[in-house]
Chains A and B, each alone.
Chain A
Amino acid sequence: MASAGQIEKPGPTLMGSAAIGWLPTIAIILAAVIIQITIRPMLGDFYAKVLLDIGVNIVLAVSLTMVNGFTGQFSMGHAAFMAVGGYTAATVMYYGSFRLFGEASMAGGVLSSMMSDREGPVPYFTRGDLLFLASTLFGGLVAAGCGYLVGLPSLRLRGDYLAIVTLGFGEIVRVLIQALTTDALYDADEIAATPVYQFPKYIGGALGFSGLPFYNSLFWSLGLAGLTILTAYRIKSSTFGRAFLSIREDEIAAEAMGVNTTRYKVRAFVIAAFFAGMAGALFAHTSGVQLNAGELGFLKSFDIIIMVVLGGLGSISGAAFAAIILTILPELLRQPAFLVHGWIVAVPLIAGGIALRMLAARRRADTSIPKLLIGFGVAVALLAIAAAIARSRDIDLGRYRMIFYALALIVIMIARPQGLLSVREIWERGLWRGLGNWVRSLRRETGEARP
């Protein structure tokens, strides 16, 4: 709510803010390069894979935040854009590699490799990487085009209708890919003989598109995640983004103030679809993943929605944070021996929360922050108890994670309707100021200690 009402500090326009500096963009790319080159060899394969998934999930969650969070529209077909982008990029990449390099095996350099031991001197950036970059961008563009096609007619609809149309669109995409396409071509001669326009027919059908090269790496995944967050933040702090937020706050009022609501809604949709398409392209080229439209149905869309909602509708850092937590949590739940030690976190949280709560109650200060501490502590404690039970009975907690998510979704919507962070960002001063005010209010009520 705060960002929509801040009239006194208008941000620069979209073009202006993009022109302000290429520095953050360059910094993000450099950071991704450094992570790929220095940190990747230090991590084990398992941790590197988790980090890779985190990157892709951040892109998905932050891009959906632009639609569901900023603009207040409820899209439930985000995975469909992912599927469109993924399949487009995979088609370009797979058949492009065959046509250009004669085979579809991995031809990338250091930046594209998730393999920790490769023989001989490996170049940093190869033509394979260039093709991957191009196909990822192309996948994003095609997904954005789809976003436009879906958005233009359906965004005249409100709220839940839009939700159901996007859901329907997602299903249509899934069914079309599964029903209308056939197995991929595997023979180089056959591929050479097939005309280019026929390639989209051979993308795997119901069995999935297999044989794709694994280009996705920490460089691509974290780099794209960083760029997505940067773009989202710049949009949010620009006039352009304020139009989004105004639609979310009150569509009729926004229209009365001269915002072309339909156009802005379509724009939000197109931008989000672009990033989701690129995330899909990276996802398609991840090792251990087989691109299958059946897995990119509404359940995947729900996963992304859960991330956005838990993070707070409209908070970029919140969505990113939730994406990180929800990627790690299933892995954590498979390690009950580790989770049992949650007591170490939970006990001080609950004890401190209760102490602060009593203090605040005595001094008639706001009790929401202690409540938050207690709530978090109780959640960790419950998790630890569940882990203890799971360990003693030899149950795989990972299987029950959806029950936790569902309960968390319901409880958060009832207890904290604006999501964990609402529209605020973690680094926004309001949060700290609020904390400072609260501490000051604690002091003020004593009335004797402070002069």
Chain B
Amino acid sequence: MNEPGRPESPGEGADSHETRHGGRPARVFTGPGVPDPGLFSRVAPLLPHLVASARYHLPPVLELFLQTLLNGLAVGSLYALIALGYTMVYGILKFINFAHSDVFVLGAWVSYEVTRIAGWGGPDHPAPWWAGILVLIIAMFTCAIVGFTIERGAYKPLRRAPRLNVLITAIGVSLLLQNLGQLDFIFGTRPQGMPTLLPDRVLAEIGGHPAVVGPDGVVIANEVAPVLVRLVDVVGSATALLLMFVLDRLVFKTKMGRAMRAVSYNPGTAALMGIPVDRIISITFVIGATLAAAAGFLYSQKYSGLNQPAAPVWVLLGLKAFVAAVVGGIGNIRGAMLGGILIGLLEFFGATYIGPELKDVYVFGLLILVLLFRPGGILGSAAVEKV
């Protein structure tokens, strides 16, 4: 696709790279086990050339595919973060925590409120580099407190009640959070625009070309927008992956994680082994709420328009995250991550290649298929009901 109308630009990329790093001497690691540093320093200046040359060799079909893949992964990692909260609570208490999606909404809205009070955003008041981290921590902290309160106030009295009652209580908590959030002195009923705290920079442009006009003024090929790899998406996905990695280590490598898995396996026996079951359950809720808050913050960074707290859009997002947890195998932490990514990809590929108006149908259709043919989920094992 080497069209004549476009100026050759690979050199520009290389120049800017040189000027950015030119003044600083390359650091050389000489410790044991570190491979020859010369390789990277030799390849690095070539990278912009590679990226830039990709621009001319990407067929539009592939470009669409790539864009869809990137979007799907970015949203999928958010689904995965929310799904983790669902799956952890389900694993331990065996009920769907319907209020979880509202904790996610709370995370997004707390992020917005903190940003608004701090006065960040807009061209006049650019946010400092640590703003995102601070907002994230405040949102996580708030949601942790709310998650703890919900568990202690609403679910703990129902430890021995039938599961249906807990489910109904969860719906009650969800409705309560939604409607409290709508109050004028909390978040109000108007949608708000969230300023981006991460610098909205394009890391790489892949493919795309301007309109090709022939010598007689006839348009030969329409303009194709390039695939944009945005910093927001990269940071968002990276944060999500980091949090998931930390959680995975926590659950599978620490003593507390072992206690959580024990409670999930059999609370009665776990209590006999000296595990403080109530405390473990509270910790699980707090971790789930924290992850949901992180997802809320990242969501508010990706999509700046925040709907009002009780908007059906939020509930639908939460439901899709729950579907992700079920598809991956509910109660299974790695399954939730896999399911989240899968749902994100399915949604975006379906929207791109079949039609955007039926986006929700694909997700719920997949849920029904999974439940019919593999009720335990992809990574889960089917449970046998014992008398």
Contacts and interface: CB of A to CB of B under 8 A. Distances in A.
B179 A417 contact: no
B161 A402 contact: no
B364 A413 contact: no
Interface residues of A, number: 41
A409 B172 contact: yes
A414 B169 contact: yes
B82 interface: no
A175 B375 CA distance: 25
A168 B175 contact: no
Contacts of B169: 409-410, 413-414
Contact of B365 (A172, A400, A407): A172
Contacts of A331: none
A179 B175 CA distance: 27
B164 interface: yes
Contact of A179 (B312, B358, B365, B368): B358
Contacts of A408: 172
Contacts of A171: 316, 319, 360, 364
A402 B175 contact: yes
A297 interface: yes
A302 B158 contact: no
A410 B176 contact: yes
Given A74-B164, A403-B176, A403-B180, A153 B368 contact: yes
A397 to B, nearest CB: 13
Interface in A165-214: 165, 167-169, 171-172, 175-176, 178-179
B365 A417 contact: no
A297 B312 contact: yes
Contacts, number: 112
B87 to A, nearest CB: 13
B371 A414 contact: no
A164 interface: yes
* Interface residues of chain A: helix, strand, loop or mixed (majority): helix
A72 interface: yes
A175 B361 contact: yes
Contact of A165 (B163, B173, B312, B367): B367
A84 B85 CA distance: 34
B319 A302 contact: no
Interface stretch (A11-19, A92-100, A154-162, A356-364): A154-162
Given A167-B319, A299-B312, A413-B168, A400 B95 contact: no
A174 to B, nearest CB: 8
A122 interface: no
B165 A417 contact: yes
B368 A161 contact: no
A165 to B, nearest CB: 6
B168 A409 contact: yes
A194 B163 CA distance: 51
A402 to B, nearest CB: 4
Given A74-B167, A252-B385, A160 B176 contact: no
B173 A163 contact: no
Nearest to B161: A417
B315 interface: yes
Nearest to A68: B164
A18 B164 CA distance: 32
Contacts of B166: 413
A164 B360 contact: no
Contacts of B174: 406
Interface in B280-296: none
B118 interface: no
Nearest to A403: B179
A313 B368 CA distance: 27
Given A168-B368, A172-B360, A407-B172, 5 more contacts: A72-B164, A154-B368, A164-B96, A406-B174, A413-B158
Interface of B: 95-96, 154, 157-158, 161-169, 171-176, 178-180, 183, 312, 315-316, 319, 322-323, 326, 357-358, 360-361, 364-365, 367-368, 371-372, 375, 385, 387
Ranked nearest first, the 7 interchain pairs of A and B with the lowest CB-CB distance are A409-B172, A168-B364, A406-B176, A406-B175, A179-B357, A410-B172, A402-B179
28 contacts: A154-B368, A157-B371, A158-B385, A159-B164, A161-B326, A161-B371, A161-B375, A165-B367, A168-B323, A168-B368, A169-B364, A171-B319, A175-B360, A176-B358, A176-B361, A298-B315, A302-B171, A302-B175, A402-B175, A408-B172, A409-B169, A410-B154, A413-B158, A413-B161, A413-B165, A413-B172, A414-B154, A417-B161
